[in-house]
Amino acid sequence: MQTLAIALGALVFYLIAYHTYGKFLARKIFKLNPEARVPSIEMEDGNDYVPTRKGVIFGHHFTSIAGTGPIVGPALAVIWGWVPALLWVLFGSILIGAVHDFGSLVVSIRNRGQTVGDIAGRILSQRTRLLFLSVLFLALTIVLAIFGLVIAAVLKQYPAAILPCLIQIPIAVVIGFYLHRHGANLLIPSLVTLGLMYFTVAFGNIGFLATMNETLASMPVIAWVCILLVYSYIASVLPVWTLLQPRDFINSLQLISTLGLIVVGLVITAFVGGAPVSPEGKRQALEIVAPAFRAAPEGAPSIFPFLFITIACGAISGFHCLVSSGTSSKQLKSESDALFVGYGSMITEGFLAVLVILACVAGLGLGAQANGETLFGSAAYDARYDSWSAAGSLGAKIGAFVEGSANFLIALGLKAQFAVALMGVFVASFAATTLDTACRLQRYVVQELASTFTRKKTSPASPSPHPLSILTNKHGATIFAIVLAGTLAALPPPEVAWTLNSAGKGGLILWPLFGATNQLLAGLAFLVITFWLWRRSLPVWFIIPPTIVMLILPGIAMTIKVCEFFQNSQFLLAVLGLATIALQLWIILEAKAAWPRARGVIEDLSGSTETLSDGGRSC
């Protein structure tokens, strides 16, 4: 019953946090006004700025921020014990992560839907804008280069998930056009879509379809990377309502309904145990089979600070500020929706991370495959988490969650094949939504960087356009983003010769930098939110502690990693890591210099400042 108590307690905890702390921030700090004119209406263009109902935006936002992060991170972090992982997810998501996402969304809404990187130029300084955008560019390049590999790995591991993931695209386009033209109630389209998705999971791996899935799964990783990047280009340049919004909405329906099934399965399992492995077998009791604390797992880095870097999505992730200020802020049709979308999505992701932890430390004990045999109890956990190298591979982390959560579904009476396929679709769908959103975000960042260098007007004597002006166009910026990511991905992983099978894994070259860089983004976004509040003489007591935490922790982690890179002669990573630390310190110095003169002085959209007179609004 301990497992069930944790799950239900976390759910109640999150609901209380939303209706107390979340609403306090909305009403007393950010002072959301449902009558205020928002960017999606003020700048509506039918492409990026599209006013949309909050249920659809929640689906887009939740699936985009989540990705595989709240699965992979917690599934690995339980190697240090389930208590530290659980505490960081619960308190991190409520006090830090949800504040970060919500704050980034509100600040962007009040600044015409611009990204936090662009806003930093007015809030802090123009130098800060360029530095911030450079960090964003590096982080998104890594995401685009690695997520093709992640999705390919998931589909190869669970071929039955391929058809359901592919069929989402045409369904999304149909739903998108239908809702855009008719503005119909969401209930019927939602039920029909959900039924179609579950139908493809149940019958999408039978006979000819199973053969097709196996054939597609056997394609080289580089082929999948190319296909996914081309898809990302299309999704990035199309109007958001044609593919991005409806696909994310469909995924959110499937993902939230699956979460509901997991919770129901957990309740049943807590009372009657897991499904018997044979007709005459006993039902395995549900219990936590992992240690509460584990100080020094074999080969693992120190729990401090790396627990807080390993679990990003699910507690606090810098990538979320890009989604909040890059896409979601351009689509909200009312300021009051920001609480539900920004704060609500993050605590929903936190609850997902709690279920992931329970699946890995309790669900896995109901039966897991290892070396051709089925293990139960602590033996199942030990087989997955014997050492850092055993738990650290992508397949092992995803496998621990898929098997553990599938055990909850099997206890409901679902067939094992269907349960595993459903969880495979769950993971792959999350990863795919992050990929296409990241591509659109990188397009914005490239356009903003290009505009920095092409801002000066061409003189009459030299009327030729600036060489970088093509990157201010959405097609040019997107092509540049996917070509760069594809080139990096096409390289082989470190110390591996190039072959057709090794190509596509080049994102692993820079991947060791991503964890600390991602969390550094959160610290920098907190700086922007803090200065936005400070300039408007609004309270900052609640945001300064998480700002300090999210600047210090990634800095310590990156410093440790840089020392390891030098020791292992990984000089490219060492130089990039040092450059990232230098950028962080530079931005902090810029903030320190601006702080004394920023109080009560509000910036306008052109970069000048004026005395606060509008109650905290800059547009």
Task: State yes or no: pLDDT of 444 exceeds 60.
Answer: yes
State which residues form the domain around 203: 2-454+467-491+501-611
- Helices within 204-302 (DSSP H only): 208-217, 221-237, 244-272
How many domains does the chain fold into?
Answer: 1
Q: Kindly state the tokens that stand for 321.
A: 């500020």
Asked, for residue 461, whether it belongs to a domain, the answer is no
Residue 280 confidence class, pLDDT cut points 50, 70, 90? low
Check pLDDT > 90 for residue 292: yes
Q: Is residue 496 included in any domain, yes or no?
A: no
Residue 288, domain member (yes or no):
yes
Which three-class secondary structure state does DSSP give residue 299? coil
What is residue 255's predicted lDDT score, i.e. its pLDDT? 85
Beta bridge pairs of residue 609: 603
Q: Is residue 578 part of a domain?
A: yes
More confident residue, 253 or 563: 563
| Domain membership flag for residue 395 | yes
Compute how many other C-beta atoms are within 10 angstroms of the C-beta atom of residue 292. Answer: 11
Task: Please tell me whether residue 560 adopts helix, strand or coil conformation.
Answer: helix
Neighbouring-strand partners of residue 603? 609
Q: Within a domain: residue 369? A: yes
Higher pLDDT, 78 or 609: 78
Relative orientation angle of helices 69-77 and 416-453, to the nearest 10 degrees: 110
- The answer to whether residue 462 sits within a structural domain is no
Task: Give yes or no for residue 610 having a pLDDT over 50.
Answer: no
Q: What is the mean pLDDT of residues 462-467?
A: 66
The predicted model scores a pTM of 0.92
Would you mind telling me the total number of residues written for the chain in this entry?
619
Name the pLDDT band for 469 (thresholds 50, 70, 90). confident
State mean pLDDT over 271-299. 85
| Residue % of the chain over a pLDDT of 90 | 55
* CA–CA distance, 135 with 138 (Å, rounded to integer): 5
Please name the residues in contact with 168: beta carbons below 8 A apart, sequence gap of 6 or more: 197, 247, 250, 251, 429
pLDDT of residue 479: 95
* Mean confidence (pLDDT) of the chain: 88
pLDDT band for position 615 (cuts 50, 70, 90)? very low
618, part of any domain: no
What's 391's domain CATH number? 1.20.1740.10
HSE value, Cβ hemisphere, 13 Å, CA-based, for 135: 37
